Amino acid sequence: MTASFFGGVHGFFHSTTWSVIETVAVIFVVVLWIATVFWVNKDARRRIASQPLVWLGTLLGALPPFLGPLVYMLFRPPEYLEDVHERRLEIQAIERRLAARQCPVCNAEAEPEFLVCPVCATKLRQACVKCKRPLEPSWKVCPYCETQVGAEPPVELRPKRPARPRAPRTTEPRATETQSPS
Ligand SMILES: [Zn+2]
Ligand SMILES: [Zn+2]
């Protein structure tokens, strides 16, 4: 009875059924291994800029099988390259915005509406000749009233020349030269 049972088990492991199961299992493991190597390569390309390091990471993902990807995950860069790039752009934009709100001479805080720096009196912006709103140095035309930058101010807004103080008229005769001496 026992002998026939072990004989059966022995027979099973030498049967074609077992060899088929074995082959399928080996193929499954190999496919899984290739898939992990592909995954490591794809992940490394998204996180590592240097090409040799990407291939080094892929090699680590391949060998030792299945353990390599775990080791790779411990040492991979924490961020995707595009996230790093995006964050760098955001920081640059913030820096530009801050620089635009600073006096270039004394670094005092200057609102975008300021024409001169309130601390060191540096000229920061021109005012539009017509609507008097602050203009950025790169602007060719005032965006608020369409006046050309550098155009002559409209007549009614030109500063009037200060009137010369006239000498008060005297009602008295100016000279007595013509008067004949009595
Ligand atoms: Zn200043
Ligand atoms: Zn204007």
115-134 pLDDT, tens digit per residue, is 999 999 998 888 999 998 99
Higher pLDDT, 160 or 87: 87
CA of 101 to the centre of ligand 1 (A): 11
Does 34 map to a domain? Answer: yes
Model confidence at 182, pLDDT cuts 50, 70, 90, reads very low
Domain carrying residue 56 = 11-79
Q: How far apart are CA 119 and CA 114, in angstroms?
A: 11
Does 115 map to a domain? Answer: no
Does 109 map to a domain? Answer: no
Model confidence at 79, pLDDT cuts 50, 70, 90, reads very high
Residue 135, SS3 per DSSP: strand
Residue 112: predicted pLDDT:
82
Q: Is residue 77 reached through a cis peptide bond, with omega within 30 degrees of 0 on the bond before it?
A: no
CA of 67 to the centre of ligand 1 (A): 61
Does 171 map to a domain? Answer: no
Q: How far apart are CA 152 and CA 73, in angstroms?
A: 67
Does 60 map to a domain? Answer: yes
Q: Which residues lie at CB < 5 A from ion ligand 1?
A: 103, 105-106, 108, 117, 119-120, 122
Question: Is the pLDDT at 30 greater than 90, yes or no?
Answer: yes
> What is the number of structural domains in the chain?
1
Does 33 map to a domain? Answer: yes
Q: How far apart are CA 59 and CA 48, in angstroms?
A: 14
Does 53 map to a domain? Answer: yes
Residue whose C-alpha is closest to residue 63's, from 87, 42, 36? 36
CA of 127 to the centre of ligand 2 (A): 8
